[in-house]
Amino acid sequence: MKTTIQTVLAYCLTLGAIFGFWYGVGLPRQIPEAELAADHTLQCVSYAPFEKDQSPFDFAKGMTIAPARIDADLAILSQRFSCIRTYSVAGLEALPEYAEKYGMRVLLGAWIGADPKLNQQEIAKVVELAKRHPVSVRAVVVGNEALLRREITGPQLAEYIRQVKDALPGVQVTYADVWEFWLKHPEVAQATDFVMIHILPYWEDNPVTITGAMAHIKKIRDEIGEKIPGKEIVIGETGWPSQGRMRQGALPSLENQARFIRGFVALAEQEHWQYNLIEAFDQPWKRIKEGAVGGYWGLYSPERADKHILSGPVSNFPNWQMLFAQSAAIALMTLLIARSHRNMGASRWLRFSAAMAGGAILIVLQGHQFSIISTNNYEYLWAGLILSLSASVYLLALKAIASDTMPTHLSLDASMDFLRGKVRLSPEAVHGTLRLGVVACALIGVLGLVLDARYRSFNNFGFAIPALTYAWFSRRQNNQGPQGMLERLSGLLLASGSVAILINETPLNWQADIWVAICLVLAYPLWRESRGVSLRPLRPFALLVLGAFAAFAALRHGVFISERLVGVCADTPDKTVCLVRSLIGRLMYNQVFAWISITLAGLAIWRNSVWLCGLALVASLAGLAFYNVNLAALAFVLTGLTLVHRKHTKTICA
């Protein structure tokens, strides 16, 4: 009876603590609003008609936008805005007509890219619509960030602008880009009727925190006005994301998005600026190119639900009740462990309850993050793998606390032998394989954040549980078997990678700081357990990796992303260097580097072949250098683990 009461009391207190956490983080906060008249409408907002599972790439597959969709969207937006901005006319041929219906004006966009034929088609449509709807079309915007994307030169763009101006006398024509590109290309400003600049504090090369965002916008707006005199300045894009990874001190959140938008509207009204907010509705398709943050700049959700960015209290976790229910369900599942160890003392119950509550919250937080950032099959598989590893280690830790017995595990090398069928099934083998999975995934995560961090999120919640658990196990276990080069090298790579991430992200990014701490906590036991192990036998492989990556990095910077070649290849695309640049772009876009590397890695592991392992490493380095990072990092880690294991056991594939 006593043990039953203890169990009930412990779980009630734990569930209460979990509820308190979610209630605290989910509580809506009051954020100051701009003081505007009740009937005052805001100026412009960027608009794209796409729903949750749609993207502009679907037009090539025959997708059309129903006029009813545009009608319904403008019915919502017209209640708060007097103008909308578009980026292309594809699928939006009916938009100017519906804008007239709701008394709205349109900044009509023509999408300009690297293909001259498509550019002319887009311009012809824009000109036609502007002529047909002179009442609603306020101005035409020829191109959006085409200079930023290096798809066109300044003189070419200026010629397109003049072409549209000649076709539309009396209609204002401009171009839109990040503010600094107007200063780099003065010929574009000379061709326009007014200057449309983008100021996005989150995306600056040196990101601006939410507290400094308004001062930054005013500074840039005033600077552009001084450096491009005689031209009206319109802020064509400004906003803040509600979800996504932190950049230095710039943190995306619903609260920060509301704080930014409301602060900007108040400042713009005070300064009498012309502006356009980005954007009307969240666009999930943008996550493919921009990471999680790209899909969450909207004032409304993809389902057209109000996110309360413009007015009202705001919560960073508006669905906190559901998240609490998920955490509670995970906590209650641990009753199976608690019932098998009913005789825990008060101290052990306290440790068990704290670990149970903390782990349940962390797993749900990680699942919530994955639901926000995952966009493709690879990312969904990654999410399932990390959650499975985290949950398995969570249960292992709770069992260790309840039984007051530390589990033993095989070394990483022995775990590799188990996976190859050379070691019999045992609890130690399973525990060792679980740890091997955690280390391998952590290395993949570090590679991504070192080489391709801009759009990549930190999976802190999922890795915190195994990091803390294995650090605790390591301190309590003094009878582990001999460890090898896999532990030594993994610890070294995790530690050195964490330093690189800290330098790249700066200490201002507390999300990165947590990830760095997790990596160091994971690395310390590996390094400690492998004292006395030398990595000298791995020097040839280290030289191969460094040399191959240096060559690919030089090719990337010297050819693929070279600003010098943008204009050259636009004028003479048949030059050899331009053909190479174009080929690299196609291979990268179609993930060819990634698929070659993962295929070679699979063959190398299966065939136990040194030369295949070498090819797989080189191919994966090409993928890492040319932005096919997800699969390339997986191939690199799998091949690397295999090579190091073979070297350690003196049976490297012959």
Q: Which residues pair with 233 in a beta bridge?
A: 195
Delimit the domains of the chain by residue range.
Answer: 35-295, 406-533, 537-649
Distance CA 20, CA 477 (A): 35
Q: Is the pLDDT of residue 598 over 70?
A: yes
pLDDT of 577 reads 87
Lowest-confidence segment of 204-218, 377-391, 639-653 by average pLDDT: 639-653
Mean pLDDT of 11-20: 95
pLDDT tens by residue, 438-488: 999 999 999 999 999 999 999 999 999 999 999 999 876 654 555 788 999
Cα angle: 44, vertex 48, 51; to 5 degrees: 135
653 pLDDT tier (thresholds 50, 70, 90): very low
pLDDT band at 506 (very low <50, low <70, confident <90, very high): very high
Residue-level pLDDT at 651: 41
Q: Note the pLDDT tens digit of each residue in 308-365.
A: 999 999 999 999 999 999 999 999 999 999 888 878 888 899 999 999 999 999 999 9
Mean pLDDT across the chain, nearest whole number? Answer: 92
Q: How confident is the model at residue 6 (pLDDT cuts 50, 70, 90)?
A: confident
Q: Between 409 and 244, whose confidence is greater?
A: 244
Give the mean model confidence (pLDDT) for residues 522-547. 88
Higher pLDDT, 646 or 411: 411
pLDDT at 286 over 50: yes
pTM: 0.92
Q: What is the mean pLDDT of residues 117-135?
A: 96
Within 10 A of 32 (CB to CB), how many other CB atoms are there? 10
Fold of 35-295: TIM Barrel (3.20.20)
- pLDDT for res 472: 92
- The predicted-structure confidence for 54-85, as pLDDT tens digits, reads as follows 999 888 888 899 999 999 999 999 999 999 99
SS3 track for 405-459: CCCCCCCHHHHHHHHCCCCCCCHHHHHHHHHHHHHHHHHHHHHHHHHCCCCCCCC
pLDDT at 610: 75
Cα–Cα distance, 424 to 266 (Å, whole number): 69
The string over 293-320, giving b where at least 16 C-beta atoms fall within 10 Å of a residue's C-beta and e elsewhere, is: bbbbbbbbebebeebbbbeeebbbbeeb
pLDDT at 477: 64
